[in-house]
Structure 1
Amino acid sequence: MGYKSSGEKKFKMELLLVVATHLLLFFSSTTYTNAENITCQGITSTIPTDPGRGKVLAVFNGIRKDIVNGVGTWKKAKNMYKLFWDCNMENKVANAINPAKGKMTLTKKYAQNYVIFNTTAVGTGAGAEAYSKVARDEWLKELTYAGGLDKNQTYKDGLDFFANMVNAKATKVACAYKPDGSNMHYSCIFNVKPIKGQSIYERGTPCTKNAKCTTYPGSVCITDEKLCKYEGDIPEPEVTSTDATTATNVNPTGGTTATGVTPTAATTTADIKLDNAYMTVAGRTKVVNAHNYRRTLLATGQIRNGKNPSNANLPTAAFMSKMEYDMNLEAQAIEHAKGCSLIKSDESTRTGIGENVYVHNTVIKDAVELFNIVAICWWTQIFQDGINNQLIFSENLRDKQAKKNIDQTAFTQIAWANTNKIGCASVDCSGKSFVVCRYSPAGNILNQPIYRIGYVCQGCQGTCSSADGLCIMT
């Protein structure tokens, strides 16, 4: 864990100013010191019994109090519930933290947050409260990376940990931490998951009486805190179409399709083991391995930003998904490649699907050889010119080819953290090899980050190894 590129210090300093400014805007010097003494019998934890748990709880309830009171630039919220400590949940999260694996394992039932940070910066003798504040501030940084909240406080991509932490409907929390050398693994679980596409909390007048707390029957208003209180069991949430796990539509053949895109050839999972006129089994393996190899180098801070050999490396990625091969995407790639346009397809014909194309002046029959050349060509675009330190897919980056005759959009699509599926094809077009690769979900979304900066694997809610830095959602 904790890879540090040669340019990480520079990037951290630049990000520090952005994040510090953001935190100053959103938080006043409000401090809530009435920490409760919470005892959990039979729990083995690194959090001191009294008043450690109460101090941790105060850190996370403090955010909620700031929101309902409209501190800084927060918009006042209604129906915001106070968090209470749950000893059974603490036992689960304490036992689940495994620094050797560094992954979250409780996400099926709970909203789980995870962060790895260096304790040197926290200071000697720091404890539960200090560690909790570091974790809170790390999770708040998602607001900066994701471009803040919209008017409805919608849970959107990039706000996973923030949404878990301030979800108005959550009523219980438990946290734990374990050291790993100079690093600390810190995790919290919340009893209610926010739903992607829905509001994390609602703007409005905070409660002044019980009737204003309407999320759960029997709720009461803690009038001096303006937070709602509910200590009963929460019903199991219903799965809706806006759930975070439905970014793409799963079809019976095991692949994925984007809205408005219909595969042009029937495929089955068995097809991946068969050669066809446009792609071979060995070629598919080469495509996936070539992409994941380069994504590992990027995620672990080993890719230089720009042309100059003395330039700093791009920073490490908190989240970078591991790519898999998809036969439906291959079918789409075949159909476009067969048209021999030798250019990208119109985006309107492949909603939600990304695309890279390549033209080789001679025909290369060996798919492994061809896709090795293709991967190198697309990836080395980053060494032609540097990209912005915030890693935002900006208009300048998108339009760089027109302005500077430098196209880096193939690199940014390969590097796009949320893209996790790929399918490719090659067609002989009048003596030239025309290569098309399709990606899902699409990258190169204007004004969105290519990936989120942070410690390797920090933002993975599945299985992630610091050795390759790639996240497998399970």
Structure 2
Amino acid sequence: MSSVVIIPFLFFISINGVSSLGKDERNSITKLINNQRSALANGEMSNLPTASDMNELTYSTLFEGMAQSLARDCSNNNMGGGVSHYSTDKIIQTNDALFQEAVDAWALESKDVDSSSLKPNENAKNFAQAFYSKNTQFGCGKAPCSGKTFLVCMFTPYGPAQTMNGPLYKQGETCGNCSNNKCDKGSGLCIPKVNKLIID
């Protein structure tokens, strides 16, 4: 089943206030997530096989604004598809350290993905959003919430794997099924064609 290339329904959430992330922080979390997606593509995550269609992600300030709005709600309820979240009550000195913790926590959920069907179970919801192969863009926001720090990242496009109803990626040689026929051989990630209108 092909992925549905749409902006999630959360597109219509109003964006309040100014983004909390700077350019360096956006670059930092993009690198962290792409490094983990590369590890997955190359068969270096849990017992999962290599991926032939794992896309490299680019950062979108549009999705950052929507993620920031969700983060300010301080709730992981009714977030919809394409959203990964992380909260901690630890004192974290920098956003980079927060990003590292969050991405590592999501990556650990890979153990709850079936290595044959490549379908995630209910314990891998955050992983399913952040590591769906057809994702091309994402954005993140964070907010203080009752003594905790809450991080939310939104990913697009949205597909069946993110509702636990399909495989997260195609198994095979890295870059073997890149939709745009472009690949970074070093990382094993496909370079997708993306909508330039929603990239900063």
Q: Does 1:247 align with 2:18?
A: no
Matched to 1:413, the amino acid is Q
Tell me if structure 1 keeps the 8 A contact 2:118–2:167: yes
Aligned to 1:465: 184
Aligned to 1:437: 153
Please show how residues 246-265 of structure 1 align to structure 2 within 5 Å.
Answer: 247-248=5-6, 257-259=7-9, 261-262=11-12, 264-265=14-15
Question: Could you list the per-position Cα deviations for residues 84-131 of structure 1 after superposition, in whole angstroms to 9, with x for gaps in the alignment?
Answer: xxxxxxxxxxxxxxxxxxxxxxxxxxxxxxxxxxxxxxxxxxxxxxxx
User: Using a 3 Å threshold, how does the CA distance of structure 1 residues 364 and 426 change in structure 2: closer, same or farther?
Assistant: farther
DSSP 3-state at the match of 2:109 = helix
User: Using a 3 Å threshold, how does the CA distance of structure 1 residues 411 and 296 change in structure 2: closer, same or farther?
Assistant: same
Q: Does 1:325 align with 2:59?
A: yes
Aligned to 2:27: 285
Q: How many pairs are equivalent?
A: 190
- 1:359 to partner: Cα distance: 1.1
Report % sequence identity.
26
Question: Could you list the per-position Cα deviations for residues 50-85 of structure 1 after superposition, in whole angstroms to 9, with x for gaps in the alignment?
Answer: xxxxxxxxxxxxxxxxxxxxxxxxxxxxxxxxxxxx
Aligned to 2:74: 340
User: Using a 3 Å threshold, how does the CA distance of structure 1 residues 329 and 277 change in structure 2: closer, same or farther?
Assistant: closer
- 1:358 equivalent among 86, 95, 108: 86
User: Using a 3 Å threshold, how does the CA distance of structure 1 residues 277 and 261 change in structure 2: closer, same or farther?
Assistant: closer
- What is the root-mean-square deviation in Å for CA atoms of aligned residues? 2.4
Aligned to 2:196: none
Aligned to 1:446: 164
Aligned to 2:42: 300
Aligned to 1:104: none
Aligned to 1:139: none
Matched to 1:322, the amino acid is E
User: Using a 3 Å threshold, how does the CA distance of structure 1 residues 286 and 457 change in structure 2: closer, same or farther?
Assistant: same
Whole-angstrom CA distance in 2 between matches of 1:358 and 1:260: 18
Which structure 1 segments of 5+ residues have no match?
1-145, 147-155, 158-245, 249-256, 268-275, 306-313, 348-352, 399-406
DSSP 3-state at the match of 2:163 = coil
Question: Could you list the per-position Cα deviations for residues 390-442 of structure 1 after superposition, in whole angstroms to 9, with x for gaps in the alignment?
Answer: 2124xxx13xxxxxxxx222122222101111111111112210111111112
Whole-angstrom CA distance in 2 between matches of 1:445 and 1:374: 21
Please show how residues 23-422 of structure 1 align to structure 2 within 5 Å.
Answer: 146=1, 156-157=2-3, 247-248=5-6, 257-259=7-9, 261-262=11-12, 264-265=14-15, 278-305=20-47, 314-341=48-75, 343-347=76-80, 353-383=81-111, 385=112, 387-393=114-120, 397-398=121-122, 407-422=123-138
Tell me if structure 1 keeps the 8 A contact 2:53–2:170: yes
- 1:363 to partner: Cα distance: 4.5
Whole-angstrom CA distance in 2 between matches of 1:382 and 1:420: 20
Whole-angstrom CA distance in 2 between matches of 1:331 and 1:287: 15
TM-score of the superposed pair, with normalisation by structure 2: 0.84
- 1:259 to partner: Cα distance: 4.9
Matched to 1:387, the amino acid is D
Question: Could you list the per-position Cα deviations for residues 138-166 of structure 1 after superposition, in whole angstroms to 9, with x for gaps in the alignment?
Answer: xxxxxxxx5xxxxxxxxx44xxxxxxxxx
User: Using a 3 Å threshold, how does the CA distance of structure 1 residues 424 and 318 change in structure 2: closer, same or farther?
Assistant: same
- 1:389 to partner: Cα distance: 1.0
DSSP 3-state at the match of 1:408 = helix
Matched to 2:109, the amino acid is Q
Matched to 2:129, the amino acid is Q
- 1:289 to partner: Cα distance: 0.7
TM-score of the superposed pair, with normalisation by structure 1: 0.37
Question: Could you list the per-position Cα deviations for residues 156-209 of structure 1 after superposition, in whole angstroms to 9, with x for gaps in the alignment?
Answer: 44xxxxxxxxxxxxxxxxxxxxxxxxxxxxxxxxxxxxxxxxxxxxxxxxxxxx
- 1:260 to partner: Cα distance: 6.3
- 1:336 to partner: Cα distance: 1.1
Tell me if structure 2 keeps the 8 A contact 1:344–1:355: no
Whole-angstrom CA distance in 1 between matches of 2:45 and 2:10: 36
- 1:455 to partner: Cα distance: 1.4
Whole-angstrom CA distance in 2 between matches of 1:260 and 1:337: 13
Q: Which has the higher contact order (CA 8 A, sep 6+)?
A: 2
Which structure 2 segments of 5+ residues have no match?
194-200
User: Using a 3 Å threshold, how does the CA distance of structure 1 residues 335 and 266 change in structure 2: closer, same or farther?
Assistant: closer
- 1:368 to partner: Cα distance: 0.8
Whole-angstrom CA distance in 1 between matches of 2:77 and 2:117: 27
- 1:335 to partner: Cα distance: 0.8
Whole-angstrom CA distance in 2 between matches of 1:446 and 1:294: 20
